A and B are shown apart, each in its own frame.
Chain A
Amino acid sequence: MIEPATFHVITTELVVGSFALAGLCFVLHSLISIQNKESQFVTMMDSTAHIALLFGLLALPFAIASGINSSPSGAHTSPLLANKMLLSTAGGGLALGVLFTRWRMGNDDASRHLHNAFGSISTGCMLLTASLGGTYTRADSLTEFLPFVKESTLLLPAWMSIFVILIILAALIVRQTSTIKHG
């Protein structure tokens, strides 16, 4: 039987690799499209970024679940682990949003760079999460210059988290009904 820690390493490699490729392609997509919108690389980068993001997103739940299981005391016992969990879900939310908007709303020229920025920030969240993993297991990583992510975390009370969830869901529903009405 494979141990959760070993499985976590495998899944995080998948997530980090996929998200890193996606992030690079999002940045290149913006840079190339500024130069030449008609370039074949624009389409290539766009497709690669979204497929890589989708692949990384598919591996993400396994990485989060195995990460929680491989910690003997749970993510709530260390600010570093709590930040890892919050960053990975933030990155996952962004990635999901990017994929969903690309699927449902298509490729809109006006918001192309904003879309790419969200994709890149999602990658940033994932890479920072992975880097914190390095800090946790090896006490060393490329983000040692960010001490606050190891020592403190911004925790909301449970009621506020529920409030945020409800607000966002309500906003999405209002926006959806408003679009249909005016369309």
Chain B
Amino acid sequence: MKQKLVLLLALSLLVPLHVSGNPGGVGNSLENMQCGGACHGDANQNATSNLQLGLQPSGTVWAGQPTEITVQISGFDTSHDIDQIGIFLLSSTNANNDIPTTDGWSILSDGMGGSNNYIEYASVDSNVLTHSWILRADEVGEKILYVSVHHGDNSGTDAGSPFFGVSQAFEINVEAIPENLQRIDPEYQPPASREVGESTTLCLKTIAASDVVIEWREPSGESYQVETTQNNGCWNAVLPPALSVSTIEWRAILDGEGPQQTTPWFSLASVEPTWEADETALLLQSIAHLVLFFGLVLLVRKPKRIDDEFKDYMEESL
């Protein structure tokens, strides 16, 4: 019996398990390049990604104004078998404090309904992947941005390894916005997400703008214009509700003394209503579970009576 048991335990230790990193990803979030010391950032474990990483701002980057930063990742050809990929937008490669928000950027939109520097794609369908962030620089000057990727690859000599890639440094020249040029208020924070079935009332604060038109487009690309009304220093416009989980984009067209200004496309994701329970009820139920299962163990046991204890004592004495 003992030998069989030892043999069984020894064999169970030899059973190979399917081991992989974070196959489901870690979700979009604010992450440093090493992603909490995960395997992809560990030089002892990772393999170098040969994807080509590019970054491009769309037009002039004004201080205090939203700007679109487009990241392009190419090289997803047939020699790769990549399903999920995580993309970082970074301000340095120090592996800590390298989120752009630590270098004077605000992330207004990550294009996926959040304000994160790390986003994940569950699959890549074409040879080139293009993704845009909307950032806002707080001051004039030179800034540096990097793109980094974490992914797996089920083909090639390093198949199964955690792949890691980081781009060259891309210099971004942040310029001062001309005086009296119509613009969005530097403090304006666009909404990034809402619930399905909810309309969104925008309250866009501007400087030196005489008229504002809001334009929004469906995921299919069809675009619509919405008139605005000025109220308490806000340009109000209502974006219609989405009927299903989807992401629409909107932008503002500003008229004023200077040439017409158009903001980048801001993403607005519609998500399913979030699940929420009554916190007090959950806490009480947890206590109830503790008491219920504690009591259950006690109640199903036959109580040890005093005469039993006396009998035990007598037996021990004899």
Cβ of B295 within 8 Å of any chain A Cβ, yes or no, is yes
Considering residues A28, A93, A165, A178, which has the most beta carbons from chain B within 10 angstroms of its beta carbon? A93
Within 8 A of B (CB), among A54-105: 74-79, 82, 85-86, 89-94, 96-98, 100-101, 105
Chain A minimum-CB-distance residue to B5: A28
Q: Which of B25, B274, B278, B302 contacts A158 (CB 8 A)?
A: B278
Interface size class of B (residues with CB under 8 A): 35 or more
- Residue pair B282, A96 in contact (C-beta under 8 Å): no
Chain A 26-57 residues near chain B, CB threshold 8 A: 28, 32, 35, 41
**B306 / chain A contacts, CB cutoff of 8 Å:** 180, 183
State which residues 154-183 of A face B: CB under 8 Å.
155-158, 161-162, 164-165, 168-169, 171-172, 175, 178-180, 182-183
> Shortest beta-carbon distance, A81 to chain B, in Å?
9
Q: Which of A35, A91, A115, A156 lies in contact with B285, CB distance below 8 A?
A: A156
B292 touching A175, Cβ below 8 Å? no
Among candidates B285, B300, B304, residue contacting A106 with C-beta atoms closer than 8 Å: B304
Chain B residue nearest to A31 (CB atoms) is: B5
State whether A111 touches B301 (Cβ < 8 A).
Answer: yes
Q: Quick one: given A76-B278, A138-B22, A158-B278, are A100 and B286 in contact (CB under 8 Å)?
A: no
- Contacts A82-B277, A155-B281 given; does A139 touch B302 at CB 8 Å: no
Which residues of B are in contact with A by a Cβ distance under 8 Å?
1-2, 5, 20, 22-27, 274-282, 284-307
Q: List 17 A-B contacts (CB under 8 A).
A: A35-B1, A77-B274, A77-B276, A90-B290, A97-B296, A98-B297, A101-B297, A106-B304, A156-B281, A158-B280, A161-B281, A168-B294, A168-B295, A169-B291, A171-B295, A172-B299, A175-B303
Q: Which residues from chain A sit less than 8 Å from chain B, CB to CB?
A: 28, 32, 35, 41, 74-79, 82, 85-86, 89-94, 96-98, 100-101, 105-106, 108, 110-111, 114-115, 118, 137-140, 153, 155-158, 161-162, 164-165, 168-169, 171-172, 175, 178-180, 182-183
